[in-house]
Amino acid sequence: MVKRLFSVARFGLLALFAASFLPQVAYGAEAASSWESGPKADARLISATTAVGELDAIPLGVEVKLQDGWKTYWRSPGDAGIPPQVDFEGSTNIASTDFRWPVPARFQYYDLETFGYSKQVVFPIDVQLERPGEPAALRARIDMLICDDVCIPHTMNVSLDLPGGPAAPSDHANLINQYSVQVPGDGTGVGLSLEGATFSGPNTKPLLEVAFRGSVPFVNPDLLIEGFEDHAFSKPEFEITDGGMLAIARMNAEDIFGDGATVDLAAQPVTFTLFDGARSIETQTTPIPGTLAVAGGAMHYVTLLSIIGLALIGGLILNLMPCVLPVLSIKLLSVVSHGGEDPKQVRLGFLATTAGIIVSFLALATLAVGVKSAGFAVGWGIQFQQPLFIIAIVVILTLFAANMWGLFEINLPGSVSDAAVKASGGASLKGNFFQGAFATILATPCTAPFLGTSIGFALSRGASEIYAVFFALGVGMAAPFILVALFPVLATKLPRPGPWMDWLKKFLSLALVATAVWLLSVMGFQVSATAAFVVGGLMAIIAALFVLRRYGSPAMLRAVPVAIVIIIAGAFATPATLSALNLNGGSGTDVAEGDWEPFDQAAITQLVAAGNVVFVDVTAEWCITCQVNKKRVLQVGDVAEVLNNSKVITMRADWTKPNNEIANYLASFNRFGIPFNVIYGPDSPSGVVLPELLSNKAVFAGLEDAGFSRDVAAAN
């Protein structure tokens, strides 16, 4: 009996001990506070450990569950919202807390853009213990703003006690870890690194460029910017290059009040948070003035100073481009006409020509700034898309050629003809100035190596960059004239002008006539062949009047200038007149020639996904370099054979006439002039850009980079 009572007593003591112990064990295994419910969200405090053990810091988390359609915010909420705040006042054995932020999502609500979380989120918190090993009483107040169409503030109070003793992983350890790995780090663990950050453009709305490199290709990156409370950044546009390993984000910054206040992106460090799927990086740097560029798979800084250097080289090379060859006749005359002349006069004449070139480039810069400010597409050489501009150039070329043939030696009424006469003679400073201006105008249909890069930089930036780059282009193109101005002996040692020079003038005038005929063929494509023949016929009548004038009566001498002015006016009126009379007889179409398909940007992605290579040629009838590329490379030999392969789709975008789709397409590559050629393929879905002057080697290298194998194609 005593033994039985003793057994019962022992069982009772064990039960009593268990009754007092089991609740503590259950509570420790759960390691979470009770859920606190709000109108649209619930929250609780969870721990990754069952006890404090010997840990210096306890990994906690604030778990939030939101109803469908509702969201809460990241630490930088964007255009609206307030980030959650957690206050541990009233807790014991806590020295400090580190609240961490998982990667958020980007939300768009009408014109507002915010960053935050929906459905469920856990905010990891590292709690540093004041006295390791001792129990911790955690008392937290959670303040959150929960929004959908309306916003509701939530305030929740949660409690969690962690005992002393050995620590073991709790039921929430995996959940806290799941969100902890979503907190951006320095990128080393996930193969991400910051390559650089630059800014350029007007200080009221500067362009920020940030480049990141990854160890594996980027898929769908996004970038968040922090550091300027009174500035907003547009949604970044990404350029993925170097086989997908380099991502360059571009976005504009502006004052949030929209009052035109300036933005100084170099004033302080900027925090960048990039995330791409499960990997992310958070880093900080101060952007520097300049821009970013990729060459040969390497990213490098391009400052305004380096772009100006490229513009100087590009302007110099422009003298050798096919578009400028017709102008060489005028340039050559300007040199030989100074044979035996006073070095001072030679220097002044060539400085005047230099001024004409530079002033013309600055005028083009002013035009570009104005067109861009008005919201229209701007590009290099787009004035040749206008028939009236072409007629004006044809008229000037006709006057030049007539003067070179000696058909008139006196000044005609009107400033244009007066300047044309003086320019061809080269004896007047005004004439030399006009000569430089005219050479610049005829040079603008071309893009030369380095020219496309410098113009692309300028036209994508503000007015100051445009003027600086165009000024450098003018100096580069005028470099030969500057050289002669510095060393007049280069011209004065030539033979003195004589009868031989008259024959040279007549010979060189043929280049101007050929240029006029070429421009009329462009006009035939833009307007109609009828319009081109009418204008050409009117120019022939002008030449005939000059001839008659030499042998006519005094009355004819007085009548010819008036008749020429009337004919010139008629030439300008020809396109509108023929259109009104329905006599145009059809104009150029946009149908691509031969085996080339019309440009269709939307179809490129699908064609590449099907395993094809797409070769895009952006061209125009007024672009001589484009025509040279066709005749020398694209339409002959091995290149033509490869482009006719069934796995190569060739598209031609004709920019002879204004076309916003083509202009925007060029701008997407930061290009604003032609020729422009790009190859898309399985290995380069974003495109491989070819140089302005094509070669067989450049085309085959581009095809290979895009994923096209000549051997495989031949086998198929």
> Where does the pLDDT of residue 179 fall: very low under 50, low under 70, confident under 90, or very high at 90 and above?
very high
Question: Is residue 16 one of the residues assigned to a domain?
Answer: no
Question: Is residue 3 one of the residues assigned to a domain?
Answer: no
* Same domain, residue pair 383 and 286: no
Instruction: Give the lowest-confidence range in 185-194, 586-595, 689-698.
Output: 586-595
* Same domain, residue pair 316 and 291: no
Rounded (5°) CA angle 492-495-498: 120
Question: Is residue 347 one of the residues assigned to a domain?
Answer: yes
CATH number, domain with residue 626: 3.40.30.10
* Same domain, residue pair 152 and 244: no
Count structural domains, the chain. Answer: 4
CB 319 within 8 A of CB 464: no
Listing DSSP states for 74-91 in one string gives: EEEEESS----EEE-TT-
* Same domain, residue pair 253 and 232: yes
**CA proximity to 542, closest of 396, 330, 393:** 396
Specify the pairing of strand 684-689 against strand 237-241. unpaired
CATH number, domain with residue 246: 2.60.40.10
Question: Is residue 234 one of the residues assigned to a domain?
Answer: yes
Picking from 243, 267, 300, the residue at the C-terminal end of a domain is 300
Q: Structural domain of residue 122, as residue ranges? A: 24-180
- Residue 70 has what pLDDT? 94
Helix axes 463-477, 451-459, angle to 10 degrees: 160
Question: Is residue 546 one of the residues assigned to a domain?
Answer: yes
* Same domain, residue pair 266 and 320: no
How would you write 684-715 as a 3-class SS string? EEEEEECCCCCCHHHHHHHHHHHCCCHHHHHH
Question: How many Cα atoms within 13 Å fall on the side-chain side of residue 225?
Answer: 28
> Where does the pLDDT of residue 500 fall: very low under 50, low under 70, confident under 90, or very high at 90 and above?
low
- Residue 41 has what pLDDT? 94
Question: Is residue 4 one of the residues assigned to a domain?
Answer: no
Picking from 549, 580, 611, the residue at the C-terminal end of a domain is 580
- Residue 23 has what pLDDT? 35
C-alpha to C-alpha distance for 668 and 654, rounded to whole angstroms: 17
* Same domain, residue pair 647 and 618: yes
C-alpha to C-alpha distance for 57 and 183, rounded to whole angstroms: 18
**What are 671-698's pLDDT values in tens digits?**
777 889 999 998 888 788 888 888 899 9
Question: Is residue 318 one of the residues assigned to a domain?
Answer: yes
* Same domain, residue pair 315 and 450: yes
CATH number, domain with residue 62: 2.60.40
Picking from 300, 335, 368, the residue at the C-terminal end of a domain is 300
**What are 48-94's pLDDT values in tens digits?**
999 998 899 999 999 999 999 999 999 999 888 899 999 999 999 99
* Same domain, residue pair 560 and 445: yes
* Same domain, residue pair 562 and 418: yes
Task: Tell me the average pLDDT across 548-565.
Answer: 78
Cis amide leading into 59 (omega within 30):
no
- Alpha helices by DSSP H, 610-674: 624-629, 637-643, 660-668
Q: What is the pLDDT of the chain when averaged over all its residues?
A: 80
Higher pLDDT, 300 or 574: 574
* Same domain, residue pair 639 and 555: no
Task: Tell me the average pLDDT across 237-254.
Answer: 85
Report whether pLDDT(664) > 90. no
Report whether pLDDT(209) > 50. yes
> How much is the pTM?
0.53
* Same domain, residue pair 365 and 512: yes
- Residue 587 has what pLDDT? 47
Question: Is residue 602 one of the residues assigned to a domain?
Answer: yes
* Same domain, residue pair 309 and 359: yes
Report whether pLDDT(385) > 50. yes
